[in-house]
């Protein structure tokens, strides 16, 4: 079964576009495949981040100054 696709116009920085074309040739993929893969990965990462935020929603917030002092006390900064 063929995957449905939708056409979109994307304007890339000239150097980024050249890099994408070179990677497409080297990996035997189209620029569209590379872009789709990158967008899927970015959206999956966003979904993971949102899930982590939701999991930690009930945790108490720590003020910035207290966190910095805690890091200093623990020898992390």
- Residue 55 counted as domain residue: yes
pTM, entire model: 0.70
Percent with pLDDT over 90 in the chain: 90
> Is residue 39 a part of any domain in this protein?
yes
Whether residue 38 lies inside any domain: the answer is yes
Whether 1 shows a pLDDT value over 90: the answer reads no
Q: Is 8 domain-assigned? A: no
| 63 within a domain of the structure (yes/no) | yes
- 53 occurs within a structural domain: yes
* 9 part of a folded domain: no
Report whether 38 contacts 32 (CB < 8 A): no
What token pair was written down for 65? 């100054």
Structural domains in the chain (count)? 1
**Residue 11 in tokens:** 């304007």
Residue 42: domain span: 14-73
């Amino acid at each position: 079964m063929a995957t449905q696709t939708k056409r979109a116009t994307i304007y890339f920085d000239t150097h980024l576009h050249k890099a994408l074309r070179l990677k497409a040739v080297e990996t035997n993929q189209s620029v569209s495949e590379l872009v789709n893969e990158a967008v899927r990965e970015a959206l999956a990462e966003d979904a993971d981040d949102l899930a982590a935020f939701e999991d930690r929603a009930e945790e108490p917030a720590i003020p910035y100054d207290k966190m910095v002092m805690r890091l200093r006390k623990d020898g992390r900064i």
